[in-house]
C-alpha cells in the first residue's frame, strides 16, 4: 500500500500530494494532511486542484493508470503532450499534442478524426431545430429524419436531403431523381471549366458541361466540345463560334445530312449530304467516302451543287447543276438571264421516260420524244412489196401530239388496191376527225387527170390515206396503188 506524506504549505504547491509507490498500478489509498508551522499537528487541507503524477508512460497493453481488476484498460502516454486510451490492450482513442482527437486512428489530422463507423442519435429523432449531430450551433448540423433520410440543416432549415433511395434533393424534401434541385444551381462560377476538366462532370471527367470564355455554355463528350450556346443564345454544333444564327451546324446530321454556315461575304449557308467545312473559306472536305451534294442559300435564291464520290477527308470539287435566282428565274446547267420573260432555261434539254406516264391534267406536259419511223408503200387489197431508193422519215411527239415528215421513192411495187403509206410511229386516236397531211412532192404516181392529190391520217391506225379532188370541188376519188413513184409528206395527229 502506498504511503502519502504531507509537506508544509508554501508558495509552491508542487508535490503537495505525491504517491511514494513506484508501482502506480498497485491499488492505493491516501489521507491528505498538512503540517502546521512549528507544531506538527495534523490539519485537514482543502484543495481545489489535485495533481497526480506517474513516472510510467504505459502502453496500450499496460496503461499507466488502470483499475486493479482490469489491468489492460486505462490511460497511457505514448508521446509528449499526448494522451491515449486503451481498452482490452488496444488503443481506442488519442488526443495528440495539437489537440486533435482520433478515434480508430493513432494520427488524427483534424479536431475529430474518426476512422471507424460513427452513429449519432440512433433513435432517429433529429429535427431541423434539434439536429442529430449539431455542428458549431444547434441550428446547424445533420439529422436522421423519418425512414432512412439524411438531412443537412443550416439556420434550423432543411437545405439538402438524401432519401432512402439515394436520391439527393436540394430545395425539396421529396427528391424523385438522383439529383433533384428545386432552386437555381451554379457550378464553377469562376469560369475555369475546360474540355478536359468540365465545370460539371457527368459520370466521367471527359463528359460534362463547362462555362468557357464569356457567358458560353459548352457540352463535352470524350474531352471534346460538341455543342455551344453563346452569350447571345446562338447554338453551335460542330462550331465554336455560332455568331450569325440561332442554330449553326457544321457537320453531318442523321443519314449523312450536313449543314454549314457562311463564313465570309462570298460564302453562303448550305445544307446537303457528306461535306464539312475547312479552315479556308469556300473549301469543303468529304465526311465519308461517298458522293456529295448540297443546296446553297445564295443572294435571295438557291444553287444546287453535286460532286462525284471522293475519299473521306479529301477536298471536294463541286459543279453547279441548278440555280434559282432572286427573281424566280431557273437555270439548269446554265446561268439564267432575263430573256423573253422566260422562267426556265436549260442547257441541253428536258428528259422524259421512254414509256409515257400519261397525266389526266390537260395542262400537264407528260411526254416528249424524237425519232425516226419506216415509211412503207402498201395497197389496201394486197400490201405487196417494193424496192426503195429513198425511205426516210422522222417524228417528234409532244404530249399527245405527233409531228411527222417522210420522203419516199420506190419502184417494182407489187401491191394492189388503193395507195397507202404505212408505218407511222404511233396509232392515231379513235376519232372522226381525220388530220390533214400536206403533200410537198408528188411524182410519177398515177391519178385522175386534172385532179389534185390530198392526204390524211387514217382513224385509229398508223397509215396515211391518199385521195384526189376536182379543182372546182367536185367528187373526191381514190388513188390507186402504183408500182413506182415518189412522194414527200408532212403533218401531225393526236394519239
Q: Is the domain of 329 the same as that of 433? A: no
SS3 per-residue string spanning 352-379 = CCCCCCCCCCCCCCCCEEEEECCCEEEE
Structure confidence at residue 122 (pLDDT): 56
Q: Is the domain of 60 the same as that of 93? A: yes
Q: Does any domain span residue 189?
A: no
Q: Does any domain span residue 127?
A: no
Alpha-carbon gap, residue 101 to 107, rounded angstroms: 9
Alpha-carbon gap, residue 282 to 284, rounded angstroms: 7
Structure confidence at residue 300 (pLDDT): 87
Query: CA nearest 30: which of 17, 48, 12?
Result: 17
- For 70-108, give the DSSP string: EEEEEEE--STT-EEEEETTEEEEEE-TTS-EEES-SS-
Q: Is the domain of 139 the same as that of 177? A: yes
What is the dihedral sign for C-alpha 54, 57, 62, 65?
Answer: positive
Q: Does any domain span residue 260?
A: yes
Decide if 199 contacts 176 (C-beta within 8 A). no
Q: Is the domain of 390 the same as that of 433? A: yes
Domain boundary among 294, 311, 344: 344
Largest Cα–Cα separation, the chain: 190
Q: Is the domain of 378 the same as that of 468? A: yes
Q: Is the domain of 208 the same as that of 177? A: no
Residue 428 per-residue DSSP state = P
Q: Does any domain span residue 354?
A: no
Decide if 311 contacts 286 (C-beta within 8 A). yes
Structure confidence at residue 403 (pLDDT): 98
Q: Is the domain of 226 the same as that of 173? A: no
Number of structural domains, the chain? 4
Q: Is the domain of 68 the same as that of 106? A: yes
Decide if 439 contacts 488 (C-beta within 8 A). yes
Q: Does any domain span residue 351?
A: no
Say how many Å lie between the first and final Cα of the chain, rounded.
141
Domain boundary among 114, 144, 165: 114
Alpha-carbon gap, residue 144 to 131, rounded angstroms: 8
Please report where in the chains the cell 405487196 appears, as a residue: 384
Decide if 245 contacts 257 (C-beta within 8 A). no
Decide if 151 contacts 143 (C-beta within 8 A). yes
Q: Does any domain span residue 289?
A: yes
Q: Does any domain span residue 326?
A: yes
Q: Is the domain of 288 the same as that of 404? A: no
Decide if 304 contacts 298 (C-beta within 8 A). no
Alpha-carbon gap, residue 254 to 257, rounded angstroms: 6
Alpha-carbon gap, residue 470 to 452, rounded angstroms: 6
Per-residue pLDDT of the chain in tens (495 residues, 90 and over written 9): 344 444 444 444 444 444 444 444 444 434 344 444 444 444 444 444 444 556 689 999 999 999 888 999 999 999 999 999 999 999 999 999 999 999 999 999 888 888 877 776 655 568 888 888 888 787 888 888 888 899 999 999 999 999 999 999 998 999 988 888 887 776 665 656 888 888 888 878 888 898 888 889 999 999 999 999 999 999 988 888 887 778 877 776 665 667 676 555 556 788 888 888 776 666 788 888 999 999 988 888 999 999 999 999 899 999 999 999 998 889 888 888 876 667 888 887 777 787 888 888 888 888 999 999 999 999 999 999 999 999 999 999 999 999 999 999 999 999 999 999 999 999 999 988 899 999 999 999 999 888 999 999 999 999 999 999 988 877 889 999 999 999 999 999 999
Alpha-carbon gap, residue 465 to 460, rounded angstroms: 12
Domain boundary among 72, 87, 114: 114
Alpha-carbon gap, residue 73 to 287, rounded angstroms: 76
Q: Is the domain of 53 the same as that of 89? A: yes
- Phi, psi for residue 281 in degrees, rounded to 5: -55, 145
Q: Is the domain of 159 the same as that of 255? A: no
Domain that holds residue 306: 201-344
Query: CA nearest 197: which of 206, 188, 189?
Result: 206
Q: Does any domain span residue 423?
A: yes
Alpha-carbon gap, residue 201 to 451, rounded angstroms: 103
Q: Is the domain of 224 the same as that of 315? A: yes
Amino acid at each position: 500500500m502506498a504511503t502519502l506524506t504531507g509537506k508544509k504549505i508554501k508558495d509552491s504547491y508542487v508535490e503537495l500530494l505525491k504517491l511514494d509507490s513506484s508501482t502506480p498500478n498497485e491499488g492505493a489509498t491516501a489521507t491528505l494532511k498538512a503540517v502546521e508551522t512549528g507544531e506538527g499537528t495534523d490539519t485537514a487541507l482543502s484543495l481545489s486542484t489535485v495533481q497526480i503524477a506517474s513516472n510510467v508512460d504505459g502502453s496500450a497493453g499496460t496503461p499507466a493508470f488502470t483499475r486493479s481488476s482490469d489491468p489492460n484498460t486505462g490511460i497511457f502516454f505514448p508521446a509528449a503532450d499526448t494522451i491515449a486510451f486503451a481498452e482490452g490492450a488496444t488503443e481506442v482513442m488519442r488526443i495528440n499534442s495539437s489537440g486533435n482527437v482520433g478515434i480508430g486512428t493513432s494520427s488524427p489530422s483534424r479536431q475529430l478524426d474518426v476512422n471507424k463507423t460513427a452513429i449519432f442519435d440512433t433513435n432517429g429523432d433529429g429535427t431541423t431545430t434539434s439536429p442529430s449531430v449539431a455542428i458549431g450551433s444547434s441550428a446547424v448540423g445533420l439529422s436522421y429524419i423519418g425512414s432512412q433520410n439524411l438531412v443537412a440543416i443550416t439556420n434550423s432549415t432543411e437545405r439538402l436531403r438524401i432519401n432512402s433511395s439515394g436520391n439527393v434533393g436540394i430545395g425539396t424534401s421529396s427528391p424523385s431523381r438522383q439529383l433533384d434541385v428545386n432552386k437555381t444551381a451554379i457550378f464553377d462560377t469562376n469560369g475555369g471549366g475546360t474540355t478536359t476538366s468540365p465545370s460539371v462532370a457527368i459520370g466521367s471527367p471527359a463528359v460534362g458541361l463547362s462555362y468557357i470564355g464569356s457567358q458560353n455554355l459548352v457540352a463535352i463528350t470524350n474531352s471534346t466540345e460538341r455543342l455551344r450556346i453563346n452569350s447571345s443564345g446562338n447554338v453551335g454544333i460542330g462550331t465554336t463560334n455560332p455568331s450569325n444564327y440561332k442554330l449553326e451546324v457544321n457537320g453531318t446530321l442523321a443519314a449523312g445530312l450536313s449543314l454549314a454556315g457562311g463564313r465570309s461575304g462570298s460564302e453562303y449557308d448550305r445544307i446537303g449530304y457528306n461535306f464539312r467545312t475547312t479552315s479556308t473559306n469556300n473549301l469543303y472536305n468529304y465526311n465519308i467516302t461517298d458522293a456529295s451534294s448540297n443546296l446553297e442559300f445564295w443572294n435571295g435564291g438557291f444553287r444546287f451543287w453535286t460532286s462525284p464520290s471522293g475519299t473521306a477527308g479529301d477536298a471536294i470539287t463541286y459543279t453547279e447543276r441548278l440555280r434559282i435566282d432572286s427573281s424566280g428565274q431557273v437555270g439548269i446547267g446554265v446561268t439564267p438571264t432575263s430573256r423573253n420573260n422566260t422562267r426556265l432555261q436549260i442547257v441541253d434539254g428536258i428528259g422524259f421516260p421512254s414509256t409515257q406516264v400519261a397525266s389526266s391534267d390537260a395542262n400537264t406536259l407528260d411526254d416528249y420524244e424524237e425519232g425516226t419511223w419506216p415509211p412503207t408503200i402498201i395497197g389496201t387489197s394486197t400490201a405487196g412489196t417494193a424496192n426503195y431508193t429513198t425511205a426516210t422519215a422522222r417524228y417528234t411527239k409532244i404530249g399527245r401530239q405527233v409531228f411527222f415528215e417522210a420522203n419516199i421513192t420506190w419502184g417494182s411495187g407489187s401491191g394492189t388496191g388503193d395507195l397507202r403509206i404505212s408505218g407511222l410511229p404511233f396509232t392515231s386516236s379513235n376519232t372522226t376527225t381525220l388530220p390533214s397531211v400536206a403533200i410537198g412532192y408528188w411524182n410519177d404516181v398515177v391519178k385522175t387527170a386534172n385532179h389534185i392529190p390530198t392526204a390524211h391520217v387514217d382513224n385509229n391506225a398508223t397509215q396515211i390515206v391518199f385521195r384526189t379532188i376536182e379543182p372546182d370541188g367536185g367528187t373526191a376519188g381514190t388513188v390507186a396503188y402504183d408500182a413506182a413513184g415518189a412522194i414527200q409528206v408532212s403533218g401531225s395527229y393526236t394519239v
